Structure 1
Amino acid sequence: MSKNLLDLDRVPTIEELREFFRENDFSTATYRDVDYDKMDAPDVESLEYIKGLMGEKWNELSRDMGLKSDPSYYGKDNPLIAMRDSMENLAATGVMKLLEEMPERAEELLIVFTTAEDWESPEALAVRADNMLSNAVSALMQTMNYEEVAKVITENPAYEDFAHGKPNNFRAKDFDRKWNHTRASIKVDSLDELQTNDDGEAIELNISDANADVFEQVSSKLTEETFWSKLTEDDRIILLMRMDGKTQQEIAEHLGYKNHSAVTKRIKKLKDLFLECA
């Protein structure tokens, strides 16, 4: 295979791209120095613009390839987020290098997506350019085995994976509770008994109080060996968000579901599961 993919007279396959990436360590590679203190203002502006275009597509595609929530819920040290940031730098500096050192080649590559055909409207041209960017980012993510990496990261979470300072970060909250083992093994007979006073008398649980730590009140009284241990990650997020007063539509949007019907079905199954385990 050619050492320079630009020398090919065709579009390289995913396997060829993957082989090229294996032969050349791109984990922290860039084509230019990205030290902002050493870059002039126009270069910084260009770099951020290109990174923004790529990042928008990457974040959009990442939800379809295994990232459970919006990327802002995850920390910079999360391998998936680190991969995105590294690839943004690599791609953006590569484009800048191509524009500066091989302007004729760059024009040849971009003219198809910047010049309208006789039958095209400006809107159609914009769609074509957007599709080109989406296809390029998708090919890069496939080359980096994003789906496989996302599966491993999801199954083996770490504290650094989450942005713990982000408000209402339910994935971070759920990880913290599991990591710190704050779920006590106290068996309950019904949802009405999930909050008790010092004498063991049941107190009505007011989940509409935004100032109450509803999760702490409920999760600390559910048994780890029964209910919680049988929940999927999405199930726990749904339960947490409902306890926090979120609507089913808000939960669906947070989890990336097309509509709230899937949340409705999961909530019904959660109720049935709780009755079985209680």
Structure 2
Amino acid sequence: MPIKIKRKNGKVTRYKNAEYIPLFYFLPKSLLDKCGELPFQISRYPYELFTDWTQIELIESDQFALLMYDAFHYLVWDYMGLNVGREIYSGDHPAWKFSHAPSFWIKTMQDEGVLPPIESLVNDIEPTTFFSFVSDEYVDAVLKDIVPKTMERFGMNEILAVVKEYQCFEDFDYRYSQQKNDFKNSYYHKKTKHPMISLEAFQEDYKKNHDGAEWDKADDSIDLEGDTAAKVDVERFMATLSEKDRQILELRVEGYTYQEIADKVGYKTHSAVKKRIDKIGREFQEQTNTDIGFE
């Protein structure tokens, strides 16, 4: 149940971000030292967070929510078994999203008795109760236990396995990384069926094979009949697809990203879209006896 408070005008409404208060008191000082002034403007006396309007406004601010997202992401990332720096992946990557979702972790931490229920802070805390900073050693011990349990609880390991198998450019941050470069090289190696040559080399080769003719006009040998047959193959194949599969392909052709497609068709991750497109591509190859680069 959401925590509610009585406003100055007498209305009782939801206390925004109050669910993050127990987690805030779990964050070690060594981490909060890197997070600016806000963490040290918030009282370590939890009673004040429900009675002092200055404190309430701090908790309800967007800055506090962002603090909790980013700070906990920084805290749990190295315990998720990814073996890569947090700067490698983009915001579309499920691991990045999961680490930025405190509500998942709070549930497990409360069930395991690490965090108190928010209701206890509302109903049982005395004005003199003070929450001191927890030690780095305690946080380390808790995360070594809680992170694997939370990832198993929400099927995160299975999701990451699928993402790894069906990687796409959207998984990676815009900055250079060795992982991104390795994926790019692997991607183009799989997609390129013929060695890449320069335009000049292609034109020279064309002259040798066409009695010295320059490559500057339409080739009379183009197989228009074959092109027509290929178009018919595509139309027949599209007719066999479900409405959702056709929508996925049409959106991709229109230039939508995997994540944007996932949001539109109701998939949980962009990797699911990538996996679906790969499957459709392989089916097309089998039905038309063509090779368009799907393995």
TM over 0.5: no
TM range (shorter): 0.3 to 0.5
TM-score between both structures, scaled by the size of structure 1: 0.37
TM-score between both structures, scaled by the size of structure 2: 0.35
Higher Cα Rg: structure 1 or 2?
2
